Amino acid sequence: MQQILRRTKESRFVAGAGVRKLLAQWRGIAPIALNPEPPKLVSAATANTTAMRAEFLRKRKQTIGPVEFHFVQPKLTLCWFRHNVNRLKAKIDGRGVDVPLAGKSSLCIIPEGVEFEGGFDVQDVFAYARIFLIRDRLPEEYRSLVTAPVLGFRHDALTRGLAELSRELSIQDNVFPLMADGWMLQALAHMARVTNARDPVGAGQSGGLAPWQLRRAMDFMRADLSGNISLEQLASVCDLSVNYFARAFKKCTGVPPHRWLVEMRLEKAEDILLNTKTPLAEVALACGFADQSHLTKTFVRATGNTPGAWRRERSIGRALSDMD
């Protein structure tokens, strides 16, 4: 294991775009967009080991308003917003989030490949830490433990460990990499438990679902539109509590899970009505409606037409089109 350790002050560290470019190259990606005047680095303590990179940074804001950013997270990252970072307002993989970061709920887990675009509400001088975990250096069976972002949560053991790691950065001895990589494995275990918890303590992850959770819930519903799908089943496949899942799904889609399911059932019904001569009673059962009356009432609310009238109008239109 090799250690690269550095503590710097503003006059030594800030070397313009050159230094920022080197950091971006190490992370594997350049920022997509930056503030016209990005925050100025006041001080930094950084370290590389075989399995992680640690950055403890203090910066000074150069402009009025939030510190804006747009990037794709290059590595699994644990963030600790230590001082004067009040709030995160952003889109994460296209989902809107608004997360308070003040107080003890100042930790965030950001998986590799997640896209962020938004801004941090910070005071003039603020401090934060980032721990980048190098995936290829993790034990293979642990590389996929953390797949969903968790924002604005509280975890006393992780916070204590980060504070200890900050102190250790000032000790440039030959056992630091051993200590740091050992701590990293403990941190990864904590992060996996937090990510898989039904309701992480203090989490303000915005009420949104991770992309994989949203896909899993939608695929589960599409696979059995004629069945009786419960909210408990949907929450279970996403490994979330029922209440949290219901809020999160609506946050992502704009409608509750049952409403989304009904829309998919209506979409399937329209396809059957348009392309087959299946009787309406059978269409209703095939699409998960209790009976023909249930289908008709739901269809009228959505389209203003009964299923029979909707089918006839389109059949006539298709026939006229074929004649042309």
Q: Do 8 and 78 belong together in one domain?
A: yes
Structural domain includes residue 203: no
Q: Do 17 and 47 belong together in one domain?
A: yes
Could you tell me the residue range of the domain that residue 52 belongs to?
A: 4-196
pLDDT at 147: 76
- In the chain, what are the helix, strand and coil shares in percent, each to the nearest 5? 45, 25, 30
Residue 176 in tokens: 């630091």
Structural domain includes residue 25: yes
- Phi/psi for 39 (5° steps) reads -55, 145
Q: Do 178 and 223 belong together in one domain?
A: no
CB atoms within 10 A of CB 82: 18
Q: Do 191 and 229 belong together in one domain?
A: no
pLDDT at 287: 94
Q: Please tell me the distance from the alpha carbon of residue 198 to that of residue 238, in angstroms, as a whole number.
A: 9
pLDDT at 118: 87
Structural domain includes residue 319: yes
Structural domain includes residue 201: no
| CATH code for the domain of 280 | 1.10.10.60
Q: Do 15 and 150 belong together in one domain?
A: yes
pLDDT at 143: 73
Residue 74 in tokens: 């290059």
Tally the C-alpha atoms within 13 A of residue 11's C-alpha that lie toward its C-beta. Answer: 0
Instruction: Give the amino acid at 47.
Output: A
pLDDT at 15: 32
Where is the domain boundary, 171, 196, 221? 196
Structural domain includes residue 258: yes
The interaxial angle of helices 307-323 and 257-275, nearest 10 deg, is: 40
Averaged pLDDT, groups of 10, the chain, 324 residues long: 32 35 43 63 91 93 83 89 87 77 82 85 91 84 79 89 90 86 91 74 56 84 91 89 84 84 92 92 94 95 91 71 53
**Number of structural domains in the chain:** 2
Q: Do 127 and 275 belong together in one domain?
A: no
Q: Do 259 and 310 belong together in one domain?
A: yes
> What is the pTM for the complete model shown?
0.55
pLDDT at 132: 94
Q: Do 10 and 153 belong together in one domain?
A: yes
